[in-house]
Homo-oligomer: A and B are copies of this chain.
Amino acid sequence: MNKTLAELAALVNGTVIGDASIVISGIASLTDARSGDITFFTNPRYRRLLSSTQASAVIAAERISDTDLPLIIAPDPYRAYAIIARLCFEKPFCPLGISPQAVIAESAVIGAEPSISPLVFIGEDTVIGDRVVIHPGVIIGAQVRIGNDVILHSNVVLQERSILGDRVILHPGVVIGGDGFGYARDHQGASIKIPQVGIVQIDDDVEIGANSTVDRAALGKTWIKRGAKIDNLVMVAHNVVIGEDTVVVAQSGIAGSTEIGNRVILAAKAGIAGHLHIGDRATVTATGGVHKDVPAGSVVSGRPAIPHRDWLKSKILCSRLPEMHTELKQLKEAVARLEERLEHNKNGKEES
């Protein structure tokens, strides 16, 4: 990348303060940036690094007094960083073809410009779109459908009949379409396995992190909609629906048949019980445990999760429990003294 600061500012709808003609060739953190790089200032925690950075320019939300470097002022500097970084690190598309050491069923159909690595398995009747990149160790079952421009990283497993849209990215070790966890109990308390014969459907622009698992539906489909982003080690149970542009952070789990709306955020280690509905744009904060429906737009916390505001209040009051306990004790004593005094007065009066 070789662009002037003016050109980069235009790309991100920002404005330049300082010399807009300097040429930027890279992007790096405040610590790692060298001369020629642009850097970004998004977290006040790192303010002290501004004075020592070797960068040639800084993206920031507003004028900053801690540096004399040329600035791009952008309303959302993190977004500006994302846009410039994509430009900077974009690689030319370069298909590798189909390795002779991949094992591909005769009936599978592979689209144009494929990159299929060695040690890949592709099952019967599977159909794969154009420009799909399949890294080594990926196992794709029978009758799977994969769209265009999909990237499957190493050791991903797609079980039979899974459906992937365009531009889906699955990181290493992701498992799509394992059996849902469904049993009935017999009279002796043993588990009777319920056949899990549904599928998983993953729509366009979904990305799923390493070693996460999405189970196939018992009947029907488990469905992850367009633009949803799922982090590592997340569990999505059978028949779950995850809405568009929803974000699910690492180690969260969603139980069976729950429907998550659009643009929801499930922060790290959140747990959602089964058969619930989480409304659009709701947020479950980290480690929240949700046991009932969450209305659209609300923020819930705790286990069981309650409105975030109530949870904060309750946390503050919990921290005041020792104080409350002491006050209660003091009150008991004060009341006892009062009772004694009244008793004494009465007796005094009676005696007088």
Contact = CB atoms under 8 A, between A and B. Distances in A.
Contact of A213 (B78, B209, B314): B209
A245 B189 contact: yes
Contact of A189 (B191, B219, B263): B263
A323 to B, nearest CB: 10
A139 B121 contact: no
Interface residues of A, number: 115
A317 B245 CA distance: 38
B103 A118 contact: yes
B175 A211 contact: yes
Interface string A192-220: 11110100000001010111010100011
B118 A211 contact: no
Interface string A82-94: 1101101110000
Q: How many subunits of this chain does the assembly comprise?
A: 3
A11 to B, nearest CB: 13
Contacts of A190: 205, 227, 245
B321 A318 contact: yes
Interface of A: 27-29, 31-32, 43, 45, 76, 78-79, 81-83, 85-86, 88-90, 101, 103, 117-119, 121, 135-137, 139, 141, 153-155, 157, 159, 169, 171-173, 175, 178-179, 181-186, 189-195, 197, 205, 207, 209-211, 213, 215, 219-220, 227, 229, 231-233, 235, 237, 245, 247, 249-251, 253, 255, 263, 268-269, 271, 273, 275, 286-287, 289, 291, 303-304, 306, 310, 313-315, 317-322, 324-325, 327-328, 331-332, 334-335, 338-339, 341-342, 345-346
